[in-house]
Amino acid sequence: MRFVDEYRDPAAARRAVEEIGIVSGGEHRKFMEVCGGHTHTIYKHGIENVLPENVELVHGPGCPVCVIPMGRVDDAINLAEQPGVIFTSFGDMMRVPGSTSNLLEAKARGADVRMVYSPLDALRIAQANPDRQVVFFAIGFETTAPSTAITLLKAKEAGVTNFSVFCNHVTIVPPIKAILESPDLRLDGFIGPGHVSTVIGNRPYRFLPAQYGKPLVTAGFEPLDILQAILMLVRQLRDGRCEVENQYTRAVRDEGNVRALQILGQVFELRPHFEWRGLGFISHSGLKLSEAFADWDAELRFQVPGVRVADPKACQCGEVLKGVIKPWECKVFGTACTPETPIGTCMVSSEGACAAYYNYGRFTREAAASARIPVRSA
């Protein structure tokens, strides 16, 4: 278990925790952190256990691995197994289960699947292997989409024709709307994603206070950042304010990264709808390559089955992603579904709520629930 004195500048963290307790005044508050990176930090550093009992965090759909539907993974495996293809992917996608296998198993069967750190690495592989078709499995929110866009611009400029992108990029605002319209969830506010917001800025969140009456505070990824964001949220609620605020001022500007947004507009266009695991189809929530880049679109270059696969019945990733249930309340959590043999995607990625909870929180939940772990030096 981690304690507040292990945070960067623990004295400041202690003060933030104490002030959250005072400002929230014992009133029950439920906040959702939208971003998987925040979920990871919250579990890793035991933030839930140092917060006052009346402040509850629920974990949102912000892990791009966790929201990929099974049918898209099957499509990826199909692409990887086509003759002459080098299939490149970020590491976390390798173990995500499709309906019958995953990319690692496809590699074991003989497919040329390679892990890359950046889409630019995939482009370099294509340039080094002109006689092979290189496909990049593009996933991620607006943080990652600009890297894919830059790579496509470079591919076009250099005339690299044996490179293509299997695009699964998604956008953050539509799922937040979908969650707010979910009837079984009551939230008091949101902790906004830090690095997505370096790209899109804070303006796209203004609908939250305006249309739904919910505050949002964009936060960085240090434990102290998250505590400060929670403090800003409870202050807003105490003062009767409802605004979009920015805790992560060292990186996030209101207008975002204008150049990145322009490039995204040039390379991608919105899909009419895109399927999210557990959330179903959400309008205008996915990106595909624009007409100008159709030659680099793997879905047009190759025959992709595109079959929709229903999620396993036992898996409750959908409820976890919406914050309706906690990971440990899922019927298969920690028994049939573990990081070694995941059934649902929330257990695959280290940013997934289930895997983060399984790795960091499962041993101490009961103890923490029965006797809240005190903030030292109180």
Partner 1 sequence: MTLTHADTGAAGAGGDGPYEHGLTEDLARAALALARRFHAGGTMWCASPSWTFHAHHVAVEFVHPVIMGKRALPAVVVPPGADLVASLRATVRPGDMVVVVAGTAPSDPGGADVAEVMRRGPAWGVETVWIGAGTRPPAGAADHVLWLGTDDPLVASEQFVRIYHLLWELTHVCFEHSGLLQPDLCEEEVCITCSDEGRTAEVVAVDEGGDAVVRTAEGRERIDVSLIDPPRPGDLVLVHAGSAIASLEEGRS
Instruction: Answer yes or no whether residue 250 interacts with partner 1 by CB under 8 A.
Output: yes
What residues have CB less than 8 Å from 363, skipping those under 6 apart?
none
- Which of 24, 102, 218, 349 forms a contact with partner 1 (CB under 8 A)? 349
Q: Which two tokens stand for residue 372?
A: 């809240």
Instruction: Answer yes or no whether residue 254 interacts with partner 1 by CB under 8 A.
Output: no
Q: Which stretch binds partner 1 (CB under 8 A): 49-57, 70-78, 115-123, 288-296?
A: 115-123
Instruction: Answer yes or no whether residue 32 interacts with partner 1 by CB under 8 A.
Output: no
What residues have CB less than 8 Å from 103, skipping those under 6 apart?
73, 76, 77, 80, 87, 89, 93, 94, 95, 96, 111, 113, 137
Q: Which is nearer to partner 1, 242 or 368 (CB)?
A: 368
Instruction: Answer yes or no whether residue 263 interacts with partner 1 by CB under 8 A.
Output: yes
Instruction: Answer yes or no whether residue 88 interacts with partner 1 by CB under 8 A.
Output: no
Q: Which two tokens stand for residue 185?
A: 């969830």
What residues have CB less than 8 Å from 183, skipping those under 6 apart?
none
d(CA 326, CA 354): 8
Q: Which is nearer to partner 1, 292 or 300 (CB)?
A: 292
d(CA 90, CA 33): 23
d(CA 95, CA 87): 14
Between 45 and 74, how does the x/- string for binding to partner 1 read (CB under 8 A)? -----------------xxxx---------
Number of residues located near partner 1, criterion CB under 8 A: 67
Instruction: Answer yes or no whether residue 120 interacts with partner 1 by CB under 8 A.
Output: yes
- The residues in 287-346 that bind partner 1, with binding defined as CB under 8 A, are none
Q: How far is the CB of 303 from partner 1 (least distance, A)?
A: 26
Q: Which stretch binds partner 1 (CB under 8 A): 69-77, 126-134, 138-146, 306-314?
A: 138-146
Q: Which is nearer to partner 1, 221 or 281 (CB)?
A: 221
- Which of 21, 140, 204, 344 forms a contact with partner 1 (CB under 8 A)? 140
In this structure, are residues 45 and 2 in contact, taking their beta carbons and an 8 Å threshold?
yes
Instruction: Answer yes or no whether residue 351 interacts with partner 1 by CB under 8 A.
Output: yes
Q: How far is the CB of 181 from partner 1 (least distance, A)?
A: 23
Q: Which stretch binds partner 1 (CB under 8 A): 127-135, 234-242, 245-253, 320-328?
A: 245-253
Instruction: Answer yes or no whether residue 81 interacts with partner 1 by CB under 8 A.
Output: no
Short-list 25, 40, 95, CA closest to 65 = 95
What residues have CB less than 8 Å from 27, skipping those under 6 apart?
54, 237
- Which of 54, 82, 118, 127 forms a contact with partner 1 (CB under 8 A)? 118
- Which of 42, 126, 252, 279 forms a contact with partner 1 (CB under 8 A)? 252
What residues have CB less than 8 Å from 14, skipping those under 6 apart?
4, 5, 375, 376, 377, 378
Instruction: Answer yes or no whether residue 146 interacts with partner 1 by CB under 8 A.
Output: yes
CA 308 to chain centre: 22
In this structure, are residues 355 and 327 in contact, taking their beta carbons and an 8 Å threshold?
no
Which DSSP letter does residue 209 get?
Answer: I
In this structure, are residues 44 and 362 in contact, taking their beta carbons and an 8 Å threshold?
no
Q: Which helix (H) or strand (E) holds 192?
A: strand 189-192
Residues that bind partner 1 (CB under 8 A): 2, 5-6, 8-12, 14-16, 35-38, 40, 44, 62-65, 90-93, 116-121, 139-141, 143-144, 146-147, 150, 193-196, 198-199, 221-222, 224-225, 228, 249-253, 257, 259-260, 263, 349-351, 359-360, 376-378
